[in-house]
Chains A and B, each alone.
Chain A
Amino acid sequence: MWRCLLDRLGSLLAATALLILAAGCTTVTVVPAYDDQIDAGLTQLYGDTVVFVDRAIALRGTPAGEYAQHVDFYDGADGRLEALIARAEAHRVLRDCPTTRLASRALAAARLPAEIRGQIGTLAADDCQVVLLRLIKGGYGDLRHFHEAQGRLGIPPSARGPLVEGGVGALLRAGITVEIAKRAR
């Protein structure tokens, strides 16, 4: 009789453990990884950057087009990206990142230049876009360096493609694509 009761108790404990395990796994899957602040932040940054590059091109060759007149834009972009990186890192700590498969599928579906894919590489399982956001920050560093090195000449029209279609513009599009994929889950 005791043996029978112990067997039943064992089965009950095993079933309970399985339920807890299943509930735990389910929680990891269903917690929304989408962060509307990162989505909105990247989208806003993309728009601001395209407007900024076009305005800088229009002002090229004048004092208003020089880097020194636009330091606020670069500093502001850096600050906004740091805030987004902080949010992405918070998701990583909380372990509610989207699956790597979801992010990879989104990036594969997006029409991204191959060089951007090359820079992104393979996202780590619990990356939460931190790598991607740091790459975007690096892209702003390249843009800042170029603008500063141009001195009085400013940004010429022939540089628009390498900067917006490629460069930081393409990195921002990659980041937005991943956010949209997370929202659509």
Chain B
Amino acid sequence: MDTDDLVSRMTAAGRIAFGDLWQQVSHFALPELRKIAVQIDAIADHHADYTPAGARALFDMQVKAAIGVIVAMTQLTLLAVQTALNAILDAVRDFVRAAVPFPLL
């Protein structure tokens, strides 16, 4: 899987999801989106080591951590960040499904 490509897609989706707030959050959101992409890549690379439910649990931990960072570092509410992150993950769902042999998203 091309991690950089995934990060680009997530960044593009992030600009839309956060809208006018993107400038405010991008400094903190971009590293977190990369971490999520790296986690997806690691799960894709080691998919034989994970059950679908186990991979999902590990991935959820990463997403929860990313939400925590963005909420902590910005003035946005938990709900706003959750909504934006869900929109970003929705935007890359097909891309990720093609790379990971089980439904992670």
Tell me the A residues contacting B by CB distance below 8 Å: 60, 113-119, 121, 142, 145-146, 149-151, 153, 156-159, 162, 166-167
Contact = CB atoms under 8 A, between A and B. Distances in A.
B62 interface: yes
Nearest to B57: A146
A162 B58 CA distance: 8
A63 to B, nearest CB: 16
Contact of B50 (A114, A117, A142, A156): A156
Interface stretch (B2-10, B18-26, B66-74, B84-92): B66-74
Nearest to A60: B49
Interface residues of B, number: 25
Interface residue SS majority, chain B: helix
Interface of B: 28, 39, 42, 45-46, 49-51, 53-54, 56-58, 61-62, 64-73
Given A118-B68, A145-B57, A162 B50 contact: no
The residue among A114, A142, A167 with the most chain B CB atoms within 10 A of its own CB is: A114
A115 B54 contact: no
A162 B39 contact: yes
